[in-house]
Amino acid sequence: MLVGFAVLSPFGVEPGWISTVVAIALVAWGRRHGLTDVRRSVHAAHPSFALFVLSLGVVVAAMTTGFLGDAVSALLPGSTSFTTLLGIAVLATVLANLLTNLSATLLLVPLLAPLGTPAVLAALLGLNIGSGLTYTGSLANLLWRRTLVRLGDPPGFAGFHRVSLVATPLSLLAAVGMLALVT
């Protein structure tokens, strides 16, 4: 799939099409080897969760052109010094934890693109590292928690946040510091 992204993206092929083809190939391989059937494959795809993610993206896209996009644009800096990169990462962290990192990416990255690569990378650090701050910060966090609940071993709320409140800010600060050094 990664090779497909690298080879086909420059030709304008959307990642969704590449992912779909790879998913179909994996299901076909699994069926041929007796590892899965259609019903289990559809269940594993979590269609209701995919619909939720699609709906979230539509809502955020609509808000981007309205009040939320305007409010976030007003908060964006005009430079890429260490403190402004850290500010961008913190803003991205807050947005990721309010909207999920995927939705916040759809909102923030287009607004930051005119500031250049360092600003976008700082946002991506906040969107990815910062999204670990809460369960709702990342779709991956939600899927991880959902899986553990289904297996009968739900993670504790206090334990998760005790670790994330220490690890997330330290990791984000270190990553933005490295970004500032190399840019």
* Alpha carbons 37 and 26: distance in angstroms, whole number: 12
pLDDT at 67: 79
* Alpha carbons 29 and 27: distance in angstroms, whole number: 5
Per-residue pLDDT of the chain (183 residues), as tens digits, is 889 889 998 999 998 899 999 999 999 999 999 999 989 998 888 888 788 878 877 877 777 777 788 888 888 887 889 999 999 999 999 999 988 888 899 889 889 999 999 999 999 999 999 999 988 888 888 888 888 888 998 888 888 888 899 999 999 999 999 999 998
User: What are the distances in angstroms from CA 103 to CA 44, 98, 181?
Assistant: 23, 9, 29
pLDDT at 88: 96
pLDDT at 183: 87
Cα-Cα end-to-end distance for the chain: 30
pLDDT at 139: 80
pLDDT at 57: 74
Tell me 129's DSSP state.
T
Residue 119 CB coordination number (10 Å)? 25
Query: Would the CA dihedral through 144, 150, 152, 156 be positive or negative?
Result: positive
